[in-house]
Amino acid sequence: MDDDAFQDRYPEELSHCYGCGRLNPDGLQLKSYWDGDETVARFRPRSNHTAVPGYVYGGLLASLIDCHGTGSASAAAARAHRGQAPPRFVTASLHVDYLRPTPIDAELEIRGVIKELKEKKVVVSATVSADGVVCARGEVVAVRMPESMLQR
Amino acid sequence: MDDDAFQDRYPEELSHCYGCGRLNPDGLQLKSYWDGDETVARFRPRSNHTAVPGYVYGGLLASLIDCHGTGSASAAAARAHRGQAPPRFVTASLHVDYLRPTPIDAELEIRGVIKELKEKKVVVSATVSADGVVCARGEVVAVRMPESMLQR
């Protein structure tokens, strides 16, 4: 794995995301890395991330897949155009299949595979596993962030 | 609208969800209600629910649609079988299309429509609007919670 998390390469003004921004002290601070041609992140749920007691709520898993997906899209675009600063992607669509209840007391592994890579659109499929068992499977369609989002 | 939120009818042991449990003090505590044949919830994002500054992160919207969907499924099942305690549903799959950036400084309205109602499976489509503009659209396939989830 590379040393530098994808999300830590975002410029300061784009590093406040609740799911993955290094400058959001209350957030999840997800960190994603290359592992060969796949991408990987690890996350330990907090005790209040409950669904039914003992299991993780679905919104957290959606959030992990979402931020891992846009981070992977950014890294894949940067890898395809070496020397270019990693562009920021945002989510056009997100799909999650919850295959089985996800235990709250395990470290989760989120793995991504780049399914499609175009200049303005990247599709990333992802799994979330606990103790080596895939609990959720998802797909993120990520699109290049429009400049207008920075004008607000 | 009825006075009683769907999520406030869940029994105590099923009321710890980060997204909608009344007994999760750190969570979002989403409250959903009937509005005719549709369901509705309102939620004001916290200032740290950022994506790019000024906008809400995608995981929050996924979470709102998810918990509004399972809550709507529970209420629809109870309405179809009057007298029955509202059964708890969990998410089998979740899909979200992010149509435009969602402002963080607006109250969000989540609206649900019951698309399919079977004893063990309910499909709910949902929109999230800010200031009357639909920002995200989603679908939740909810299934009756297996008894085994309470055994952990």
Q: What is the pLDDT of residues B16-41, one digit of tens each?
A: 999 999 999 999 999 999 999 999 99
**pTM confidence score:** 0.96
Whole-number Å distance between alpha carbons of B45 and B56: 7
What ipTM was estimated for this complex? Answer: 0.96
pLDDT band at B2 (very low <50, low <70, confident <90, very high): low
Residues of chain B with pLDDT > 90: what percent? 89
What is the SS3 assignment for B142? strand
CA distances to A21, A85, B109 from B57, rounded to whole Å, are 11, 22, 16
CA distances to A10, A24, A142, B27 from A21, rounded to whole Å, are 8, 5, 17, 20
**H/E segment holding residue B65:** helix B58-80
Mean pLDDT of all residues in chain A? 95
**H/E segment holding residue B41:** strand B38-43
Mean pLDDT of all residues in chain B? 95
Whole-number Å distance between alpha carbons of B130 and B135: 7
Contact A52 B17 (CB under 8 A): yes
Which of A48, A57, A98 is the closest to B93 by Cβ?
Answer: A98
Provide the pLDDT for residue A3: 73
Provide the pLDDT for residue A151: 63
**H/E segment holding residue B136:** strand B133-144
Residue (of A151, A121, A127) closest to A139 by Cα position: A127
- Condensed to tens digits (0 to 9), the pLDDT of residues A48-79 reads 999 999 999 999 999 999 999 999 999 999 99
Is residue B77 a contact partner of residue B4, using CB atoms and an 8 Å limit?
A: no
What is the SS3 assignment for B75? helix
pLDDT beyond 60 at B152: no
pLDDT beyond 90 at B139: yes
Contact B52 A19 (CB under 8 A): no
Whole-number Å distance between alpha carbons of B143 and B140: 10
Provide the pLDDT for residue B3: 73
Least confident of A43-47, A83-87, A138-142: A83-87
Contact A96 B94 (CB under 8 A): yes
Which of A18, A52, A98 is the closest to B60 by Cβ?
Answer: A18
